[in-house]
Structure 1
Amino acid sequence: MKNIRSEGTRPELKIARELKRRHIYFSTHSKTVLGKPDILFRRKKIAVFIDSDFWHGNPDHFKMPKSNIRYWKAKISRNRSRDKEVTGTLRQSGWKVIRIWEHDIYKNFSKSVARIVKYLK
């Protein structure tokens, strides 16, 4: 699993390119902010996480692997729990947290970008 890309994924790059095209500037994967948000607007305290349908267990699009089911159930469950904990902690610290599913980026890209832009105004 060490070969699994956690930064610079296609959905992240797609969103990043569009934000740059609109001259909206941001940081990526800051290690100083809990959860290492995929996209970060530090001054506005906005953290954007782009969640993979598989690794974060999208309830509508996650497909359980056929082998080693016990392992995968536990793994995805831990990931979901961590996501909730990170989101809650950041919000308690005054951050706005936006979570976007990978599927939503591919199926409704403009709406995904609009969610981010709305928070920036």
Structure 2
Amino acid sequence: MTSESWATTAATRKSMQSNKSRDTKPELTLRRALHALGLRYRVCARPLPEVRRTVDVVFRPARVAVELRGCFWHGCPTHYRAPSANGKYWAEKVDRNMRRDQDTEERLNEAGWVLEVVWEHEDLGEAAHRIAATVAQRRVGL
């Protein structure tokens, strides 16, 4: 591996580069469940146009944003395990992700949005019902 690469081996680099940033299986499952409940939404959209960050699902009129977080990438308090290879790099990466997640949530709250966080290990059908209830509650207030 070259000195510029974060990967410990070429195979690791190839594997990590193949990870998708959107339309993952959990995301598709959650979106199908939301759609089946009659909800319509934007995918991978910026809830706050002035902030260069997207969230997985956006219900713009109700001001509800949904993030589906992976246990590894976002430091799930229940399931995150630091990898044994290149541990310092990954610890810093996950820490940056967690700080960005917190900052995004604070910005959304300040702008009057609600952020629903769904972890990949959750029952996505139950999460869809929870999100639908939040959207319905927020729409009543409009």
- Quick one: structure 1 residues 117 and 90, their matched pair in 2 at CA, closer, same or farther if it must change by over 3 Å? same
Shift of 1:32: 5.8
Cα root mean square deviation, aligned:
1.4
Shift of 1:113: 1.3
1:93 equivalent in alignment to 2:108? no
**Aligned AA for 1:117?**
A
Unaligned runs of 5+ in 1: none
The CA distance in 2 between the partners of 1:31 and 1:24, in whole Å, is 18
The CA distance in 2 between the partners of 1:110 and 1:32, in whole Å, is 24
- Quick one: structure 1 residues 60 and 32, their matched pair in 2 at CA, closer, same or farther if it must change by over 3 Å? closer
Unaligned runs of 5+ in 2: 1-15, 137-142
Deviations along 1:92-120, one digit per CA (max 9) or x if unpaired, are 0111111110011xxx2332112101111
**Helix, strand or coil for the counterpart of 1:97?**
strand
TM-score (norm 2): 0.78
From 110, 114, 117, the equivalent of 2:125 is 110
From 47, 65, 68, the equivalent of 2:83 is 65
Deviations along 1:21-67, one digit per CA (max 9) or x if unpaired, are 22210000114634311000011111000000110010110121111
The CA distance in 2 between the partners of 1:83 and 1:103, in whole Å, is 18
2:18 equivalent in structure 1: 3
Asked if the contact 2:56–2:66 (Cα under 8 Å) also holds between the matched residues in 1, the reply is yes
* The structure with more radius of gyration: 2
1:41 equivalent in structure 2: 59
The CA distance in 2 between the partners of 1:111 and 1:22, in whole Å, is 11
The CA distance in 1 between the partners of 2:114 and 2:31, in whole Å, is 18
Percentage identity across paired residues of the two chains:
31
From 36, 39, 57, the equivalent of 1:24 is 39
